[in-house]
Amino acid sequence: MATVRSRLGRPRDELGDPLSLTAWLVRHDLPPAAEPDPADVREFQALREAAYRLLADVTEGRAPAGADVELVNQCAAHTPPAVSLAVEEDGGVRRAQAHPTPAQALGLVARDLVDLVGGPLRGRLHQCEAEVCGTFFVDTSRAGRRRWCSSATCGNRARVAAHRDRAARP
């Protein structure tokens, strides 16, 4: 839930209101069955902050705080939306999912976090080394030594800064 940009610099919350939460859910293929309200926004923000602390603890080798684990587990317990098979016009069959309520979408996000932290990818979790970013990512590189959430953004900024530093030296 990387919805706070420049977390370690000048943070910008991308889940500040029901409209932005709806947009985030749509971008992540979870168009809600009902418009989120301010309470839904607060629940997503609480899960996001618990996830951030939990990921920081896990990547640093610390035991996560019990309150964060409890909140993630409570959110993950929400009943998921119904799934079904849908027949395409060409006769093909695909999995279909009902539009989730905001609480169901929260549960799906929390379940993904449970799978990530409790599964085989946990050892590949890293925090971006960019000075102001703070985003966590799964390192899918072969060597497992990726430093930035995105080479194109955070990595490029770091390389440009290093180049400027080298060029400024006599």
Query: Once rounded to an integer, what is the mean pLDDT over residues 40-55?
Result: 97
Residue 85 in any domain: the answer is yes
Please name the amino acid found at residue 32: P
pLDDT at 91: 95
Residue 164 in any domain: the answer is no
pLDDT at 118: 96
Residue 114 in any domain: the answer is yes
pLDDT at 152: 81
**Percent of the chain residues past pLDDT 70, beyond the cut:** 99
Please name the amino acid found at residue 81: P
The model's pLDDT over 83-107, given as tens digits with 9 standing for 90+, comes to 999 999 999 999 988 899 999 999 9
Residue 160 in any domain: the answer is no
pTM of the prediction? 0.84
Least confident of 1-10, 38-47, 85-94, 130-139: 1-10
Q: How many domains does the chain have?
A: 1
Per the structure, the complete domain to which residue 106 belongs is given by: 4-119
Residue 29 in any domain: the answer is yes
Could you tell me which residues come within 8 angstroms of residue 124 by beta carbon, excluding any fewer than 6 positions away? 138, 139, 140, 144
Residue 58 in any domain: the answer is yes
pLDDT at 5: 76
